[in-house]
Chains A and B, each alone.
Chain A
């Protein structure tokens, strides 16, 4: 377990109860503190009270691009907080987010992961954004 990681707080937002529970377990096992939120509202309530060190959010929640909205709000509050967007969109709608940094500059996320997300992959991204 990483000693540094212990103090880091991750805000985890997804309306999929199972993804929330499973991801929370994986991140806690890696030594992070996790604040779970089942939706945009809850996430914003949490954001107004504390400053997470990183945010992991699903793209499609209450509405199609709720994740982008949240992303925008996080960056407005503090642009140094890294955001990881998780989405099943690419594999299911054929919508592509790949490409050069310029192409996706309109997306405020620091990383985009496609569901199903392997725990190892998520932990690697979190570690890269927090310590790297």
Chain B
């Protein structure tokens, strides 16, 4: 239950009392926001008194009579506009002249109520006005939340970019100071670490661009007939050096070609990320299984590993931006923290989903479903 404040401005006592009686017993359900609105009513008998109240605590809805003893309703509206006060206003007019209506609308009135009106007419008008206010509020909250998320993203991104810079800078300073003497070979580990950090940074920038392109909706998506099996084979090829070095058995389970219409780049992104992760987070001598299935026009990609596994708490965070599970097993594994969140965004673009089943210390199975696209 949310309360909206209504200021009723009318010089007739009977009108003010009548309106407040009706509104204080009235509630408006807003199913879109799964809430209900009720009203707190405040009264003013003149335009001047109304302006005073408006300056102190602006109401959500202003029910404003045009014909008032001192300044008119239209003049009140004018002052509000001049003071930059935005209050949703319903004008009450004794005889609805077109001229008054046009001027009032120009000055920002939301609706009109012709005098005399019945309680039902008042309720109908207030119902419309209050829904408008509630939805506007919701939109504002939504925008603020979006702004906050964006700000948080940039903050974390800045941190992720600063960390490798600081590391490389530290090594360069050590070199500059000849911290380990004149023998160049002594600095090999530092050069090696600098290169590792720089390549991690490059990966982050590439992932970031992938994600931005996807989210901006500006990237041209080219839906074409693909063979997903071929894309999977290519993803396996990309990790071959690493998987052979660590004696991993990578198996593709797909009987023949897997035809699917989608954007090639997006499907590659999904498979490359899942297969790379399955290798990165595996144990030496472990297994990676890739299953491709078509069912009811949807593509299901399942990639399982025999790696470190995840706790339920970790699974809850896994698909968010910049989440990297930190523990002693993942310490030496590098990543941008954007891979899985981007995979999830691709899946959602196809009306599908990305999920994981995992057993801590045993292994994980990632499953991504792609529908037939937009």
Contacts and interface: CB of A to CB of B under 8 A. Distances in A.
A29 B193 CA distance: 20
A92 to B, nearest CB: 6
A31 interface: no
Contacts of A22: 167, 170-171, 174
B135 interface: no
A77 B167 CA distance: 33
A18 B327 contact: no
B219 interface: no
A17 B166 CA distance: 12
Interface in B173-192: 174, 179-180, 189-190
B179 A25 contact: yes
B300 interface: no
Contacts of A62: 326-328
Contacts of A39: 328, 331
A62 B330 CA distance: 10
Given A17-B193, A18-B167, A25 B155 contact: no
B189 A21 contact: yes
Pick from A18, A19, A26, A92 the residue with the most CB of B within 10 Å. Answer: A18
B148 interface: no
A63 B163 CA distance: 18
Contacts of A92: 155, 159
A29 B180 CA distance: 8
Contacts of B159: 88, 92
A99 interface: no
A8 interface: no
B331 A38 contact: yes
A127 interface: no
Contacts of B344: none
Contacts of B246: none
Interface in A82-132: 88, 92, 115-116
B332 interface: yes
A75 interface: no
A93 B163 CA distance: 15
B326 A18 contact: no
Nearest to A66: B326
A41 B328 contact: yes
Contact of B170 (A15, A18, A38): A18
A57 B180 CA distance: 24
Nearest to A29: B179
Interface string A1-43: 0000000000000011111011001100100000000110100
A15 B166 contact: no
A25 B326 CA distance: 25
Contact of A18 (B155, B197, B331): B197
Nearest to A18: B167
B248 to A, nearest CB: 24
A87 to B, nearest CB: 13
Interface string A37-70: 0110100000000000000000001110000000
B335 to A, nearest CB: 15
B331 A116 contact: no
Contacts of B163: 16
Nearest to A61: B326
A101 B328 CA distance: 34
Given A25-B179, A25-B180, A92-B159, A19 B167 contact: yes
A116 B327 CA distance: 23
B198 to A, nearest CB: 12
Contact of A15 (B174, B189, B193, B326): B326
Interface string B13-49: 0000000000000000000000000000000000000
Given A18-B167, A116-B170, 7 more contacts: A16-B163, A22-B167, A25-B174, A25-B179, A38-B331, A63-B326, A115-B166
Interface of A: 15-19, 21-22, 25-26, 29, 38-39, 41, 61-63, 88, 92, 115-116
25 contacts: A15-B331, A16-B163, A17-B193, A17-B331, A17-B332, A18-B197, A19-B167, A19-B170, A21-B189, A21-B190, A21-B193, A22-B171, A25-B174, A38-B328, A38-B331, A39-B328, A39-B331, A41-B328, A61-B326, A62-B326, A62-B328, A63-B326, A88-B159, A92-B155, A116-B170
